[in-house]
Chains A and B, each alone.
Chain A
Amino acid sequence: MRAGPLSDSSVIDLLNSSFVCVYVNNEDYRESGSAPADEQKELARIREEGLEKKLSVGTVHAYVLTPDGHPVDSLHVAEAAKPGKTLSMLERAVERFQPKPGAPVMPPTAQSSPPPAGADSVVLHLVSRIWGRGSWGDIPAENWIVLRPKQWSKLLPPPPVEPGHSWELDRDVSAKILTYFYPQTENNNADVARIQNLSLTGKVLAVENGSATARLDGFVEMQHAFYAGRDKQPLRADVVGVLIWQPAGPPTLKLVTTTAEYLGHPFDVAVESTSHPVP
């Protein structure tokens, strides 16, 4: 949907001018999910009403609701993603409800943004994209990884910090980052137990003006299933990176894949430290 109708100018313009738009991630709306109970009840109600009205109802769907939240139309994602289908559904709704076109109900904002974390935390932004796998490669995947001081401090070398000094970065903290080195797949279980082997080695390149710079070299090997609950396939990514730090304060980290392959397709990953909101 993201690479299809939800990137189409006609759909975007119509949604912003005549609709109120909301998306939900099903995991958040399951009983153990993070969405408030009242939100979960609303989604359950919409699905029940949809079934009563004999609409197409399911987990991955696009719905049109009345202004007060009752379903009147719907499309399974396989239909909604076809050219023109979502636009046609929206146009039917406009015809029916005759909304007054205007500005979006609120300003559009970035939907993938750094999570709040302590000022002394490191927040990493990861981007991953597979090549040569059709629509799966259309939109890159992103992750936000938070390292608290107790974690990022384990990435730094023991003294003395001198040019040429090499060290092995903490395996658990390395795993917390490298476990997300997989391309866009339907399965997004990023459990570190998938990792079979990994290594990240640092080498101090320079110590100047109270700041140290090191290069990182390493790799990760894991078993990752494309579909949840199905057989896992091997994945390997070779990485290099740069770590810069000062005696006080969190380091900055950048990592990129040099070669990475999954299911016979190459993929690229980039990670970098970013600024983040502090709660």
Chain B
Amino acid sequence: MKRRMRLFAVLRTLWLPGIIYVAAGCATLFGVSDSRIVPWVDKRVAERQPPASDKRFDEIAWVPGIRRAIQLGTEDDRPIFLYTGDGKINTGRC
């Protein structure tokens, strides 16, 4: 009797989520149904884009290259700010 109860408990554990899963129309391991996957992915892609507060670096008028900076510095009589870094500071891979 105990063994039968234990078997029932195991089967209930395995079957119940399976029944719910199939009833919800989920044909894949990940729990978003096929019918909802396109808007679900669209929403996550949109949410994960860097907000403007992460892109303040782009508000600085960066000049492409040291020689161009010296040319403009001389023309406009402005000092030059130079940042040197490992990786790519512009993509955040640094």
Chain A contacts to B: CB under 8 angstroms: 1-2, 6-7, 12, 15-16, 18-27, 29, 35, 38-39, 42-43, 46, 59-69, 72, 77, 90, 93-94, 96-97, 99-100, 102, 104-112, 127, 129, 138-144, 184, 186, 188, 203, 205, 213, 215, 217, 238, 240-242, 254-256, 258, 268-272
Contacts and interface: CB of A to CB of B under 8 A. Distances in A.
A62 B81 contact: yes
B30 A139 contact: no
Contacts of B30: 217, 238, 240, 258
Interface of B: 27-30, 32, 34, 37-38, 40-42, 44-45, 47-50, 53-70, 72-74, 76-94
Contacts of A186: 86-87, 94
Contact of A16 (B37, B60, B76, B82): B60
Contact of A111 (B32, B57, B79): B57
A64 B28 CA distance: 57
Contacts of A38: 67
A42 B68 CA distance: 11
Given A15-B60, A22-B82, A255-B41, 8 more contacts: A18-B78, A20-B79, A21-B69, A61-B84, A67-B77, A111-B62, A240-B30, A256-B41
Given A20-B76, A22-B63, A254 B34 contact: no
Nearest to A139: B92
Contacts of B59: 12, 16, 108
Contacts of A143: 91, 93
A256 B50 contact: no
Main secondary structure on A side of the interface with B: mixed
Contacts of B82: 22-24, 46, 62-65
Contacts, number: 259
Question: Which 3 residue pairs across A and B have the least CB separation, nearest first?
Answer: A104-B61, A270-B48, A111-B90
Nearest to A103: B61
Contact of B73 (A42, A65, A213, A258): A65
Main secondary structure on B side of the interface with A: mixed
A35 B27 CA distance: 51
Nearest to B33: A215
Nearest to A257: B44
Contact of B63 (A21, A240, A258): A21
B48 to A, nearest CB: 4
B77 to A, nearest CB: 5
Given A26-B86, A46-B66, A110-B58, A68 B73 contact: yes
